[in-house]
């Protein structure tokens, strides 16, 4: 009787206990990301920059950013102009606010284009293989053989010479060269990602769950976008994050060389380009845009490093 009672009590305890639910990979990745101190610091810096560029527009009008007054040209930072003024007397604080919006938009939209093209090319090339793979990868290798900056300069020059008009987007008058820069960066930045995705697809398509999907009659496109693509999201997400910082740097380099976004639109890059007038006598002209570019790129790289470590499959189990 005693043994029976003990077994019954043990059964009740066992039934009362609930086995811990298996933690999803996403939750593990999120927890690992927020344990990454530099990634969290990057998030804080990025949030502050977004607050500056977006929130600042509620306190400073765009007209103030474009209002030239030659009597106030090259003024040092003061209470009236915290970041000083440029060569035609425009307030640099206002210009960095509205220029930051354009720089961040260039980075985000161009990377969206690049990620979309690179992902599709990598998926198709890796899955179908054969002649399709050979044609796509030979094209990618040929494009990678051309230095990116030279390719950007060759594509950008005729567009700049032909673009003397402005367009209106969300009520703002923007130089058409903004669209040209976005397209050029987006259409030349997908090459590396396509090779990464292709290598993943070559491994994934040999897995048992893909074989099972074939046996169940799933179409090739369903297998590609429903079964394979979700397993490639981690490296795509990391590439997208790091690509935004790279696109901002590319736009800055083009503007510094005189091939970037043209007036009246301000970007951090073309504000920095005008600081070449005399960087030693007028240091405030490059300090503000230079600091914002540096902080933005650093914060994005920190976030990208955190995402890469968070989604690392070799350490995912350890949490």
Supply the CATH number for residue 279's domain.
Answer: 1.10.3720.10
Angle between helix axes 37-50 and 92-128 (nearest 10 degrees) is: 130
221 part of a folded domain: yes
pLDDT for 55? 92
With respect to residue 205, please indicate whether it lies within any of the assigned structural domains: yes
Weakest-pLDDT range from 6-20, 175-189, 234-248: 6-20
Q: What is the pLDDT of residues 262-317, one digit of tens each?
A: 777 888 988 888 887 777 888 888 899 999 999 999 999 999 888 888 887 655 55
Q: Confirm whether 219 is domain-assigned.
A: yes
Domain count, the chain: 1
In terms of C-beta density within 10 A (0-12 exposed, 13-18 middle, 19 or more buried), how is residue 26 classed?
exposed
* Domain membership flag for residue 83: no
Asked whether residue 178 is domain-assigned, the answer is: yes
Q: Judging by beta carbons within 10 Å of its beta carbon (0-12, 13-18, 19+), is residue 309 exposed, middle or buried? A: middle
* pTM for this model (two decimals): 0.84
DSSP structure class, residue 21: P
Chain segment 93-105, per-residue pLDDT in tens: 999 999 999 999 9
Mean pLDDT over each residue of the chain, to the nearest integer: 83
Task: Tell me, yes or no, whether 13 lies in a domain.
Answer: no
* Residue range(s) defining the domain that contains residue 218: 24-60+88-310
pLDDT of residue 17: 43
Which tens digits make up the pLDDT trace of 176-222?
A: 788 888 888 898 889 999 999 999 999 988 889 888 988 988 898 99
Sorted by sequence, the CB contacts under 8 Å of residue 53 that are 6+ apart come out as: 97, 98, 100, 101, 104
In a domain, 208, yes or no: yes
Confirm whether 68 is domain-assigned. Answer: no
Q: Give me the helices (H) in 17-165, please.
A: 25-35, 37-50, 62-66, 92-128, 130-144, 148-162
């Amino acid at each position: 009787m005693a043994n029976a009672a003990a077994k019954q009590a043990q059964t009740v305890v066992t039934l009362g206990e609930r086995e811990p639910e298996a933690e999803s990979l996403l939750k593990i990745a999120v927890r690992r990301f927020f344990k990454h101190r530099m990634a969290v610091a990057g998030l804080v810096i990025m949030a502050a920059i977004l607050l500056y560029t977006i929130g600042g527009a509620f306190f400073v009008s765009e007209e103030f950013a474009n209002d030239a007054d030659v009597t106030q040209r090259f003024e040092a930072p003061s209470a009236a102009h915290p970041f000083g003024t440029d060569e035609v007397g425009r307030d640099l604080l206002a210009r960095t606010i509205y220029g930051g919006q354009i720089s961040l938009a260039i980075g985000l939209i161009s990377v969206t284009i690049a990620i979309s093209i690179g992902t599709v090319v990598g998926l198709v090339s890796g899955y179908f293989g054969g002649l399709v793979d050979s044609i796509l990868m030979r094209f990618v290798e040929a494009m990678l053989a051309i230095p990116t900056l030279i390719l950007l300069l060759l594509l950008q020059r005729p567009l700049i010479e032909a673009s003397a008009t402005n367009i209106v987007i969300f009520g703002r008058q923007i130089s058409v060269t903004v669209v040209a820069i976005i397209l050029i960066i987006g259409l030349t930045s997908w090459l590396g990602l396509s090779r990464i995705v292709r290598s993943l697809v070559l491994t994934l398509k040999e897995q048992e769950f893909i074989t099972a999907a074939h046996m169940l009659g799933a179409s090739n496109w369903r297998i590609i976008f429903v079964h394979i693509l979700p397993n490639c999201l981690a490296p795509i997400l990391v590439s997208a994050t790091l690509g935004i910082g790279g696109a901002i740097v590319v736009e800055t380099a083009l503007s510094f060389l005189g091939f970037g976004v043209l007036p009246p639109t301000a970007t951090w890059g073309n504000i920095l380009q005008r600081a070449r007038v005399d960087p030693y006598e007028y240091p405030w002209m490059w300090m503000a845009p230079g600091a914002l570019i540096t902080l933005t790129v650093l914060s994005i790289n920190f976030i990208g490093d955190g995402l890469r470590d968070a989604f690392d499959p070799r350490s995912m189990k350890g949490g």
